[in-house]
Structure 1
């Protein structure tokens, strides 16, 4: 399965942050995964490359880098909490399943469209869902 564009983008952010030239980048990819292009990577390859990049000193951007602070919208802490609660409830980190649940439950197509009120409702609902499934 091919990587989401956001994961490819994160790889290139790391590459720029670490100032890795193209030739060295391809060597790193080949050493870690056997591929010479990031477009050939799957999710396991992505995880392996990210582990190497973190070992080299890459510091991933926080959630605020994606949505920023927006008046009336969900805070970065609310977004992080929703993502954490969803990954615990759904036993995975599939952003599409979270988006599907948000659309079905709250009428928003993505977490980035959640206002602070909707985020609070989503957090309450996820906590209730998690407690019911833990029983």
Structure 2
């Protein structure tokens, strides 16, 4: 399933492109196999956004996730890494995330992460978060 922000982005594209309800529903069904944006999965969302982009819609989605690039981290991986980093660090700090990626995975920035590196980074961040949670539990924390 997609996030509320992604649903809002689909609706923004609809409005920006002037799609009537019939056109909007046809796009959702043809590209995502659904009748409502809230029922899209990540793949369907990416296809709808690519389609909207081809008609002139511009958003920061591809800028933020770097879009689909063969061999590189997928938009879903990029979003997950950012979410995990935010959970770990408590901040939405791309510079600190890039420094961590460089130190641990020899990748200068998230935009240069391959799919394999992204997978390792996701596993690493999840492990760091779990260790922190176990440490707080053992120390009698919440």
- TM-score between both structures, scaled by the size of structure 1: 0.58
Residue 88 of structure 2 is aligned with which of 98, 101, 106? Answer: 101
In the alignment, is the contact (CA less than 8 A) between 2:32 and 2:41 conserved in 1?
Answer: no
Q: Deviations over 1:13-48 (max 9, x none)?
A: 111110111111001111112211111100000001
- Sort the Cα spacing of 1:5 and 1:124 in 2 relative to 1 into closer, same or farther, 3 A: closer
Say if 1:123 and 1:43 are closer, same or farther in 2 by CA, change over 3 A: same
Specify every segment of 5 or more residues in structure 2 that has no aligned partner in the other structure, as ranges. 67-72, 108-142
- TM value normalised by structure 2: 0.56
- 2:122 matched residue in structure 1: none
Match of 1:134 in 2: 106
RMSD: 2.9
How many residues are treated as equivalent by the alignment?
96
Could you tell me which runs of 5 or more consecutive residues in structure 1 were left unpaired when the two chains were aligned.
63-79, 112-118
